[in-house]
A and B are shown apart, each in its own frame.
Chain A
Amino acid sequence: MMSMSPLIAGMTLLLCVTLIGAALVAIRAKAMPVAILASGLVSLIASILFLVLAAPDVAMTEAAIGSGLTTFLFFFVLARIRASQPDSARYDEAEKAGDEHD
């Protein structure tokens, strides 16, 4: 961290803490969309960190695949799973998700 300015170092630390927080949310969240968004956020922050570490090519890969393609793919699969579930199960899940937010 010698070559970093204090501003960048502070921002990096903040990003690292947010990264770990988002990863925990992705694991613990009961509502599936929240977990998917949190895991997308993990990739997004990781790509910013790669940029700070002067690896823009890796950052682009992480942003395009990790936070773009995979997040979309998870939502796509989630929509397919919900569409194939009977209605009662869907309501149960919605209720559970609602409880989580209250």
Chain B
Amino acid sequence: MIKRAIALLLTLAVGALFASLLVGYVPDSELNQTARYYAERTAEDIGAANIVTAIIVTYRGLDTLGEVTVLFISAAIVGLVLAQGRVLNNAPQQPRAPVSELLSTGSRVLTPLILLLGVYVFVNGHLTPGGGFQGGAIIASGMLLLLLADPLKHFSHQLIAVLESLSGLLFVGIGVLGMLLAGGFLDNRLLPIGQLGELFSAGVIPVIYSLIGLKVGAEFSSMLASLSETSDTTEET
């Protein structure tokens, strides 16, 4: 009873906090200085139609590298923890509940389309909303659909590892090349900026975002693959 009262009180306190924020909120009538700089200079300096992508990949490219590193570390730790309970390939598999025909047939139709959508999202990251992280997550959900339809499916961890480390290396390599040949680390003017709004524009942004997309997709897929390969018996705690 006291627990409930405390929980209710805490909820009310948080609600009051947010309510005061909401009441005091006045929308800005114009962009602030930083936002105005990005809005005015992106098309000219970066050549990306999507300002958010220009900020993520070029203006704040180092932060994105950090973000990708965080994701890499978490994928590595998940793989490390789940590898404890991995079933050996020659071990007898325990029988699983059969998968419905609707799911297995539907996944065969949908998975290529989902993968195509994921690639489209990260290749067009500099033109339309979305980019490497979103595209990678879409690709990973396609992989998860495959796993749902066939729980005994094995993804090649070697392929995933090669793809993941290659795109990571290339990402950093492009950044260093930008430092040598263009204005600085991860500068996108390594390639010509081109016409605003075309697929091959905005310098190396499409290349970097495609690499990020592949990397994120590979990391999520490796987490899901190791999750599906753990055995049930060793998981008891």
Which of A's residues lie within 8 Å of B, judged by CB? 2-3, 56-57, 59-61, 64-65, 68-69, 72-73, 75-77, 79-80, 82-84
Contact = CB atoms under 8 A, between A and B. Distances in A.
B130 interface: yes
A61 B148 contact: no
A73 B144 contact: yes
B228 interface: yes
Nearest to A75: B148
A61 B133 contact: yes
Most buried by A among B27, B130, B131, B227: B130
A64 B97 contact: no
B121 A60 contact: yes
Contacts of A83: 94, 96-97, 151, 232
Contact of A72 (B27, B52, B53, B144): B144
Given A60-B121, A73-B224, A80 B232 contact: yes
Contact of A61 (B97, B134, B144, B151): B134
Q: On chain B, which size bracket covers the interface?
A: 20 to 34
Interface stretch (B4-12, B32-40, B62-70, B135-143): B135-143
Nearest to B231: A84
Interface string B134-160: 100110110011011001000000000
B232 A76 contact: no
Interface string B115-129: 000000100000001
Nearest to B233: A84
A60 B130 contact: yes
By secondary structure, the B interface counts as helix
Contacts of A68: 137-138, 141
Contact of A57 (B129, B141, B228): B129
Contacts of A73: 144, 224
B72 interface: no
Interface pairs A-B: 7 shortest CB-CB: A56-B129, A84-B232, A64-B137, A60-B130, A60-B134, A68-B141, A72-B144
A75 B96 CA distance: 15
B171 interface: no
Contacts of A79: 97, 148, 151
19 contacts: A57-B50, A57-B52, A57-B53, A57-B134, A61-B137, A65-B134, A65-B137, A72-B141, A75-B148, A76-B147, A76-B148, A76-B228, A79-B97, A80-B228, A83-B94, A83-B96, A83-B97, A83-B232, A84-B232
Nearest to B128: A56
Contacts of B97: 79, 82-83
B145 A72 contact: yes
Contacts of A72: 141, 144-145, 148
A82 B95 CA distance: 12
Contacts of B145: 72
